[in-house]
Structure 1
Amino acid sequence: MALTVQPADGAAVRRAERLSRVRGLLLGLALGDALTRPDQPGSGVLLGTPTTQLACFTAEGLIRALVRSDHRGIGPSPLAIWFAYRRWARAQGIPIPRSIDHSGWLHRVPALRERRGDAPSVVAALKAGRDIAPDPAAPTSGGHHALSPRLPLAAVAAPAGWTAEVVTTTHGDPDAVRATLTAVDLARAALGAPTMPAVLRASTDPVLDDARDLGMPLARLAPDHTAVSALRGGAALAARCPGPEVIADTLYAARELPVPGAVGPLAGALLGAVHGAERLPVELVARLEVAWAVDTLARDLVAQVEDRPGGSEYQQAPDRHWWSRYPGG
């Protein structure tokens, strides 16, 4: 008797594809950050920088903001991400005013408590901050840490004003804010686009005009540590990757640029979002120091958006551990 194969459920297929791409976004960010670190050893564990650490706390803060929204009946607050950065500071041993209590699980990951470099503008904002986010007009930095740590925001349909509020807690330079908004929009487009050129074509920001020119030297697109360099160089580098089989080579090539650490995270995030986690180089992802934490956050972010494991104001939580992992209070 012949067996009848049932067609795949369309919703399940879309869910699996979405999960693959969000995982690719976060893991690609971490991979791009690690492979462009100039002092990275040739073998062994791949260490990240504060870019990856802060991106992890952005994702965690975003999940907690969504949990709080489900239970309080109000929109997700950008302050949840500011408090996440304060938890990062405490885990790092950075003295900040009115230290915040540890909660959730992310602060317990040993690699996220280790100093992996500097994020001076973020640290300065945290040291000067209050229990709530500082005056958005106060921080004026335009460095690339305005951009890369905020890329997890692409996984949700957040308005530009919401994202801008997150950015201006630590970086108030208008060009940096605009570059970050464009980068998040690019990453969001990459989660549904078939190719990187299609992602670039979808953007109307004129700051990317030169990045679309494949003949433009990358060093001219990304000459410094600014968020604008990170946007132009990261987008152009990702667009020049001919296929997923050379993602590693593409990211390694960024080491020749003046500021590889500004360019690598966005390029890796875009390539991971377009191709999915399964197309990232397994032999390198497996060496990432924070791979488990990053992948867990990506999976949990999709679960929160799709399934609401923590329940809501009117529904009991399907996952009894969710609230302790992502307190929304």
Structure 2
Amino acid sequence: MMSQPDARRATRLSRVRGLLLGLALGDAVAAGDDRASGALTATVTTQLACFTSEAVVRMWVRGDHKGIGPALGIHRNAYRRWARIQGIGLGDNDIELDGWLHEVPRLARRRGNAPAVVTALQRGRGVEAAPAPATSGGHHALTLLLPGAVAPWLTGQHVRQLVAATHGAPEASAAAVLGVALARAALDSESTSEVLKLCRDEPLLGGVAGAELPLSRIAAGHDAVSALRGGVALLARCPEGSPDTVRSALLSARRAGVPAAVGPVAGALLGAVHGVGSLPVDMLDRLDVAWVVDTLARDLVAQDLDKPGGSEFEPARDAAWWSRYPGG
């Protein structure tokens, strides 16, 4: 019989894997086809979400060793490494490559555009970001930061600071803060209804959790608010966590005005609340970046529960951890 600590660990691992793999699967399903023979190819959204996950581990390592709050510039540096392997010119903002994620060939392939992120990287200097324009409110303000829900120390204020580096629209910031909070709640909740209780009085959501409106009306645009509304609506329509119902919900994301905005949010929320076992195995088998996303999920849990790289007062348990996730 599994001990209580082992059971809690297994549940945590299943939920975190569900969040990250669900995000990637929702992204790929929204972008591709669902034929049994076809590969599911994740887009730039998943690529950058992977680098967010790496940045979270690095910030965690730094905090454990330095005893200070999260160094948010680590997040910007992660995106700079992504830009470099993509061959995107950053001028004076170029960066040396370290860690392991930059070595993954699939993350170096062009899988769509992230103009707000690229513009922000080109306008800033090193780890210092320039203020993003107030007109920038695309769904990447939210979808790229969902892995941050795994880190309990990443506060709403931290999320606002991270968003402000790439997206300046106030409503995008609000959607990101709420979206990360809902994903964090999903990781710890027993059911979708517990998560949806947090949505009832949220002006950004406007009652979409119980609405019977078509998804194309609930989530009509590419913006972060629309992405959040669509993701919550699909979570509400999938109270059971069977692979068949989750499959149906992910495919339903294609009915949104901009499927690429809704798919990652819906997948992350569904995977977080129902666990990795709720994700259709045949779809995961066809997901091109499944192994790297799953590795990041497992490493996030390891950093949270085990501190493989040690801390200011404890020796490292894994001598290679610091080279995998340099804390700076």
Under TM normalisation by the shorter chain, which class is it?
Answer: over 0.9
Question: Partners of 2:135 and 2:323 in 1: how far apart?
Answer: 36
Question: Partners of 1:115 and 1:161 in 2: how far apart?
Answer: 32
Aligned partner of 2:174 in structure 1 is 178
Say yes or no: does 1:108 pair with 2:103: yes
Say yes or no: does 1:23 pair with 2:22: no
1:56·1:297 contact (CA, 8 Å) conserved in 2? yes
Aligned partner of 1:63 in structure 2 is 57
1:229·1:262 contact (CA, 8 Å) conserved in 2? yes
Aligned partner of 1:285 in structure 2 is 284
Aligned partner of 1:89 in structure 2 is 83
Aligned partner of 2:160 in structure 1 is 164
1:20·1:278 contact (CA, 8 Å) conserved in 2? yes
Question: Partners of 2:113 and 2:247 in 1: how far apart?
Answer: 25
The structural deviation recorded for 1:138 is: 4.5
SS at match of 1:147: helix
Gaps (5+ residues) in structure 2?
Answer: none
Q: Summarize the Cα distance change of 1:195–1:209 in structure 2 as closer, same or farther, 3 Å threshold.
A: farther
Question: Partners of 2:312 and 2:281 in 1: how far apart?
Answer: 40
The structural deviation recorded for 1:22 is: 0.4
1:188 alignment partner, one of 172, 176, 184: 184
Say yes or no: does 1:223 pair with 2:220: yes
Aligned residue identity for 1:166: L
Aligned residue identity for 2:18: G
The structural deviation recorded for 1:209 is: 2.9
Aligned partner of 1:327 in structure 2 is 326
**CA deviation map 1:190-240 (0-9, x unaligned):** 111122232111234222233122312211111111001001011101211
The structural deviation recorded for 1:168 is: 1.1
2:220·2:258 contact (CA, 8 Å) conserved in 1? yes
The structural deviation recorded for 1:298 is: 0.5
**CA deviation map 1:56-92 (0-9, x unaligned):** 0000001001111111121111111111011110111
Q: Aligned ranges for residues 260-275 of structure 1 at < 5 Å?
A: 260-275=259-274
Question: Partners of 2:312 and 2:246 in 1: how far apart?
Answer: 43
Question: Partners of 1:55 and 1:192 in 2: how far apart?
Answer: 21
The structural deviation recorded for 1:242 is: 4.2
Aligned partner of 1:33 in structure 2 is 27
Question: Partners of 1:79 and 1:139 in 2: how far apart?
Answer: 21
2:217·2:257 contact (CA, 8 Å) conserved in 1? no
Question: Partners of 2:228 and 2:31 in 1: how far apart?
Answer: 18
Gaps (5+ residues) in structure 1?
Answer: 1-6
1:129 alignment partner, one of 117, 124, 130: 124
